[in-house]
Amino acid sequence: MDNFNYRPRALESMPTMTCIDCGDVVFEADTWQAMLVKMMPHYLEAHHDVIAGDTELPREEWMARFMDAYRAAEKRQTKAV
């Protein structure tokens, strides 16, 4: 590989996903755990009902939706690199 096409792993893009409840905010993180941490301020402000468990959707189902969305983001990111 020549120097013009070399891309250090640290500079590769990370998985990117939008808020799974409103789609208004985009987040980027290298692990699903880091993605949850980055999403937390938005959820505390815009989706406090999800954080508090005041929704009809059980937390386990929300987490399953989140994991599906994160895995899809990882696949998109892998294809892009």
Residues 10-43 pLDDT 10s: 556 899 999 999 999 999 999 999 999 999 999 9
- Residue 43's domain comprises 30-81
DSSP structure string for 28-47: E-SSHHHHHHHHHHHHHHH-
25 within a domain of the structure (yes/no): no
Residues 39-67 pLDDT 10s: 999 999 999 999 998 999 899 999 999 99
39 within a domain of the structure (yes/no): yes
Cut 0.85: pTM above it: no
pLDDT at 77: 86
16 within a domain of the structure (yes/no): no
23 conformational bin, left if phi > 0, alpha if psi -120 to 50, beta if neither? left
44 within a domain of the structure (yes/no): yes
pLDDT of 4 strictly over 60: no
19 within a domain of the structure (yes/no): no
- By C-alpha distance, which of 38, 23, 32 is closest to 68? 32
15 within a domain of the structure (yes/no): no
5 within a domain of the structure (yes/no): no
State how many domains the chain has: 1
